[in-house]
Structures are given as structure tokens and as C-alpha cells.
Amino acid sequence: MIRSNLLKITVAALLTLTSIDCQRGAKMDNILVITGGHDFEPSLYQVFDSFKNVHYDTLSQPDFNKKLSSGVAEPYDVLVFYDMWQEIGAAERTAFLALLEKGKGMVFLHHSLVSYQHWDEFEKIVGGKYIEKEYHGDPAVQGSTYAEDITLEIKVVDPHHPVTRNVADFTIYDEGYQNIRINPDIHPLLSVSHPDCAETVAWTNSYGRSRIVYLMLGHDHHAHENENYRQLVFNAVKWVGGATAVE
């Protein structure tokens, strides 16, 4: 009886140690969240707080761009952009493109699509553009529009992609963009049918050696607290960081 109890205790201890070792061995993704140029609710950070095995730091514009040439992005597996910034100098553009040539994964959320209206290459990086008429002096240019506080019925276009893993069709209360430009070679992930929103609201793109994801959703706490939104952002971070599958 004593030997039996000792055996049970030993096995339990080994299982516990194995579990701890597995947890220690889990890959910890290190990401940098870039904000600035647009107000946002602090609930954004709750999205990243909810992620397991993900450590994140934050940096606001213009500090991120100013530090690009000095290697501020190098320690991170993934950059997540929730900024809406316009100023970017020649050296900063070169440093940004160098990250893409190295294969740095990037996720662009919501109003980051409005950034860098005068940097044509940025549209190729993200895979689309929200057109701000105030930055384009030509009255013939049709500007993009936005609609806050609308209910969007999200359809998963590609249920087999790692970014949409564990996500089925869902409803979200959010902001939509209409009349945006979307490059023809992007890979659509999510779609909607709403008069105030473009049909495609999430896609993947590639630039240089990098994986890119753009997700239009994420205006405020209504979206940030949506479990499907959190799952999409988590999946996007994992996938652009190099994962072939998302658990």
C-alpha cells in the first residue's frame, strides 16, 4: 500500500513538472503596438491583455517613426499598427521598407488604413487605402467615407485560413469605411453587406518577405470587447509572426 501511494505521488509530481515545462516551452510572441494620430479608447489594450503567450509594448507616434532608423522595431516579432499618422521622412521610409525586406510581420488595424496619404508605397504595403480628400487637392478625387455605430454582419470568406481559425460568422457593432481602395491581389478574409461599408473588411497581403494582415474592425470598446474580434487579432499576430497554424 505504501509503495502504491508513493508511486501515485511520483507520477503526479512528474506530470506536474511536465506541465510546467510545457508552459515554459511555449513560444512567447513579443509585439509592439503603435498608436498616435487618432484618439482611441483604452479598451484597445484589453485586447492584448487577453492574449496568452504574448508580451506587448506600446509606442506612440511620432516616437516610433523617429526611432525606426535606430532599430526600435528589431526586438519584436510583430508590429501592430493602430495609428493614423502622416509624417514620414525619407530615412524613416527606408527603415520601414527594410523591416519588410527582413520579413517583419505587420498587422494594421482600423484607422491605420488612413495613414501616409502622400506615401504611395504604403498602399502597396497594406493592400488598400482610405482616401482623405483634404490631402488631395483634386476635386475629382472621390474620398472615402466612414459611418460610426453601425451593426455589421460579418461573413467569413476563407474559413480555412489561420487568421480566421475558431471564428464563424458573427455580428459586431463598429465603424465601417466605404469607397476605399483595395488592391486586386489581396486575399479576402471577411466580408459584409452594408451600404455604409466596403464589402471586404479584412484581408492578407504580402510585401517583401513579410506577411501582412489588415482588419478594418476595432473602433471602440464595442469591438474591443467582442470575442471574435479578439480572436481575429490574436490569430493575425500569430500568423504574421510566422506560425503555419494557429491554436
Which of the four pLDDT bands, split at 50, 70 and 90, describes residue 142? confident
Q: What's the mean pLDDT in 34-43?
A: 97
Range of the domain at 118: 29-240
Instruction: Evaluate whether residue 6 is within a structural domain.
Output: no
Q: What is the pLDDT of residues 193-208, one digit of tens each?
A: 999 999 999 999 999 9
Instruction: Evaluate whether residue 47 is within a structural domain.
Output: yes
CA atoms within 13 A on the CB side of 47: 30
Residue 133: predicted pLDDT:
81
| C-alpha to C-alpha distance for 123 and 90, rounded to whole angstroms | 16
Which of the four pLDDT bands, split at 50, 70 and 90, describes residue 134? confident
Instruction: Evaluate whether residue 7 is within a structural domain.
Output: no
pLDDT at 247 over 60: no
Q: What's the mean pLDDT in 232-238?
A: 97
pLDDT at 23 over 50: no
Instruction: Evaluate whether 26 touches 53 at the Cβ level (below 8 Å).
Output: yes
pLDDT at 154 over 60: yes
Q: 179: which DSSP letter? A: S
- Neighbouring residues of 61: CB distance < 8 A, sequence distance ≥ 6: 34, 35, 36, 37, 83, 85
Segments in the chain forming alpha helices (H): 2-25, 43-49, 63-68, 90-102, 120-126, 221-224, 227-240
Instruction: Evaluate whether 216 touches 205 at the Cβ level (below 8 Å).
Output: no
Which of the four pLDDT bands, split at 50, 70 and 90, describes residue 1? very low
Model confidence, pTM:
0.88
CATH number at residue 130: 3.40.50.880
Instruction: Evaluate whether residue 39 is within a structural domain.
Output: yes
Give the helix/strand (H/E) hosting 59: strand 54-60
Instruction: Evaluate whether residue 1 is within a structural domain.
Output: no
Residue 137: predicted pLDDT:
66
Q: What's the mean pLDDT in 139-164?
A: 94
pLDDT at 135 over 90: no
Here the cell at position 202 is 479584412
| C-alpha to C-alpha distance for 247 and 160, rounded to whole angstroms | 13
| C-alpha to C-alpha distance for 197 and 52, rounded to whole angstroms | 32
Instruction: Evaluate whether residue 18 is within a structural domain.
Output: no
Q: Give the residues across from 107 on adjacent strands.
A: 80, 213
Q: What's the mean pLDDT in 9-27?
A: 43
Here the cell at position 20 is 510546467
Choose the weakest-confidence range: 18-22, 74-78, 136-140, 238-242: 18-22
Residue 22: predicted pLDDT:
38
The count of structural domains within the chain is: 1
Instruction: Evaluate whether residue 146 is within a structural domain.
Output: yes
Residue 8: predicted pLDDT:
44
CA atoms within 13 A on the CB side of 30: 6
Q: What is the pLDDT of residues 3-15, one digit of tens each?
A: 444 444 344 444 4
Residue 24: predicted pLDDT:
40
pLDDT at 63 over 50: yes
Instruction: Evaluate whether residue 69 is within a structural domain.
Output: yes
Q: What percent of the chain has pLDDT over 90?
A: 82
| C-alpha to C-alpha distance for 78 and 82, rounded to whole angstroms | 13
Residue located via cell numbers 511536465: 18
| C-alpha to C-alpha distance for 199 and 180, rounded to whole angstroms | 10
Q: What is the pLDDT of residues 74-131, one digit of tens each?
A: 999 999 999 999 999 999 999 999 999 999 999 999 999 999 999 999 999 999 999 9
| C-alpha to C-alpha distance for 224 and 232, rounded to whole angstroms | 11
